[in-house]
Amino acid sequence: MNLLNDLANPVRFERYARMIFPAVLGFALLTGAAGLYFALFNSPADYQQGEAVRIMYVHVPAAWMSMFCYSVMAGASAVGFIWKHPLADVAAKETAPLGAGFTILALFTGSLWGKPMWGAWWVWDARLTSVLVLLFLYLGYMALWRAIPDKARAARLAAILAIVGFVNVPVIKFSVEWWNSLHQPASIIRADGPTIDGAMLTPLLLMIAAYMSAYVAMLLPSIRNELTARRLARLQFVDETRAAELVEQ
């Protein structure tokens, strides 16, 4: 656990961040390039969907990351809320926009992928709909942060919302799948196909690694910015008024 309270002190965090940032960024670019190469040139077209399947290499990692980021957000919120760990609050706050970005990417590529197969830009397919609802969970979380001026309070409230949201995600996912099967017992074409053969797996895993490291590479600087912004804000207060003390006359 000492890493956790190590990270609690912002100065030490910034030293770690500065150290690993170039490595993470490099790793992201490397795996991204390799992944794209494999995805575009070195993997078979799908026997049913033809070339359209290549969108899968961008869509599936994005959908996966949207869920991963939400779980990180909820986890960091819980740590921040229970142990009052300032850095965890900032991590959760800065993860949200990235998670929302992945969700929008997933939705966008999802509909791009759907057009050739289902003939419509948007199909109320169970998976796409769940990702859409997840996007609203992100928007609600970010809107709550922005609406509350006092950052310390905003952190606690947003943490509660993130945890409530996280606990509801499985219920929402189940209800959307149920809703989908209710009106259309089995989706005619499944988005990610029942099985992915070996040749397709390598680009997919590369892309997921690329997305993951890109997320970390984007997260670190935004956490640093937020920390410096808060330090500035606190400096501005301190010199104006000092905390009051009680003196008996």
Partner 1 sequence: MNQQTTTESTRPSIEQAERVIFSASGLAVSRGGRPVLTNISVRAEPGDAVVLRGPNGVGKTTLLRAFAGLLRPDHGEVLFTDAADAGRIRDRSEASVFCGVLNAHKAALTLRENLNFWAALYNAPQTRIEAASAQLKLDPYSDYPAGALSTGLARRLGLARLMIAQRPVWFIDEPTASLDSASSENFVAQVEVHRRRGGLVVIATHDPLPLSGARIFELTTKVAA
Partner 2 sequence: MTRKQKRTFLLFAVFIAAGLALGLTLTALRTSITYFYTPSELLVLDAPPANTIRLGGLVEDGSLVHGEMSGVDVKNAVVSFTVTDGGATTAVRYAGLLPDLFREGQGVIVQGRLDERGTLIADTVLAKHDENYMPKEVMDALKEQGLWQDGEEVGS
Partner 3 sequence: MSALGAIIARDIRLAFRAGGGAAQGVTFFALTGVMFALAVGPDIALISKIAGPVLWTGALLATQISLDQIWRADREDGSLDVLVETSDMLALTALAKAFAHWAATALPLIIATPILGVMLNLPAEAYAPLAISLAIGTPGLSLIGCIAGALVVSLPRAHLLIAIIVSPLYVPILIFGSGAAMSDVGAPQYGANLMLLGATVLFAAILSPLASAAALRSNLD
Contacts to partner 3 by CB under 8 A: 133-134, 136-137, 139-140, 143-144, 147-148, 153, 156-157, 160-161, 163-165, 167-168, 171-172, 174-176, 178-179, 182
Phi and psi of 98, rounded to 5°? -65, -45
Residue type, 97: P
185 binds, among partner 3, partner 1, partner 2, none (CB under 5 to 8 A by kind): partner 2
Of the candidate residues 19, 186, 188, 243, the single one contacting partner 1 (CB under 8 A)? 243
Residues 169-198: x where in contact with partner 2 by CB under 8 A, - otherwise, as a string: ---------x-----xxxxxxx---x----
147 binds, among partner 3, partner 2, partner 1, none (CB under 5 to 8 A by kind): partner 3
Distance CA 142, CA 136 (A): 10
Length of the chain: 249
Does the footprint of partner 2 cover residue 71 (CB under 8 A)?
A: no
Phi and psi of 247, rounded to 5°? -125, 125
Least distance in Å: CB of 70 to partner 3? Answer: 11
Does the footprint of partner 1 cover residue 152 (CB under 8 A)?
A: yes
Structure tokens at 91: 């991590």
For residue 149, what are the CA distances in angstroms to 154, 182, 239?
Answer: 7, 44, 20
CB 106 within 8 A of CB 131: yes
Structure tokens at 65: 């990351």
Q: Is the dihedral of CA 132, 135, 136, 137 positive or negative?
A: positive
Does the footprint of partner 2 cover residue 3 (CB under 8 A)?
A: no
- Residues at the site binding partner 2, with contacts judged by CB under 8 A: 178, 184-190, 194
